[in-house]
Amino acid sequence: MTAGQPRTGSTEHGSDPGHDGSEKTLPSLTEQMAEQLGGWRGMVEASIPVLVFVVVNIIGELRPALIAALAVAVAIAGLRLAQGRPIRHAVNGLVGIAVGALIAWRTGNERDFYLPGIIYGYAYGAALLGSAVIRQPLVGWIWSIIAAGGRHEWRQNRRLVRTFTWLTVLWGVVWIIKVGVQHVLWVANLETALGAARLLLGYPPYALLLLITIWVVRRVHRQEVTVPAAVTG
């Protein structure tokens, strides 16, 4: 999950208690998914530089592949900026491509293009699992930024704490597994397979985890509102 400001005013309603105890309408599940993934166009644009690198590297050499991937990433970010569209996802992708390209350029090894992503994946997975161990689930804190306007009342709700804890463990385990697969391919010097794994293990698992997280948390919120209403009614 990444921080961002979801849109409001959806037709599908969930509720999140506000500061004054009133209910705040949550964006729909679809809106929250689109916000975090950048929509279908955002997902495609994020994958294009890596795909370009893989294809050019197969038919050509390392340095032209690195230049092509970096040029495409810059062009995508520039196009989004010129169109007045959010560039957060494009900038994140550009930074990752630039760092990987710099390392691969210096070492002359194709596989090192993917090294920053592997290192980041391990660090992120470890942070997720570590936060769950100390009962400060990272998914909960990220949810506070994404969907709760910075509020963290969930810390006083034991059910939500348990929910965010097991969701954080799920994210951490999946992240470690997917980066572990890439690490094995990196060690084996299977550059083309590593590129394919980077694409296949990028957005698909992320989108599935995001869908599970949003659905589960919204379901808990709805139950939290429904049960008190039924008791008082």
Question: Coil, helix or strand for 215?
Answer: helix
Against a cut of 0.95, is the pTM above it? Answer: no
- Cα 101 to its chain centre, rounded Å, is 21
- The predicted-structure confidence for 37-47, as pLDDT tens digits, reads as follows 555 566 677 77
Q: What's the token pair of residue 194?
A: 């590593």
Query: Binning pLDDT at 50, 70 and 90, where does residue 123 land?
Result: very high
In sequence order, the β-bridge partners of residue 15 are 25
* Contact (Cβ atoms closer than 8 angstroms) between residue 38 and residue 46: yes
In sequence order, the β-bridge partners of residue 24 are 16
* Contact (Cβ atoms closer than 8 angstroms) between residue 139 and residue 1: yes
Mean pLDDT, residues 127-156: 85
In sequence order, the β-bridge partners of residue 25 are 15
Q: Output the pLDDT for position 28.
A: 58
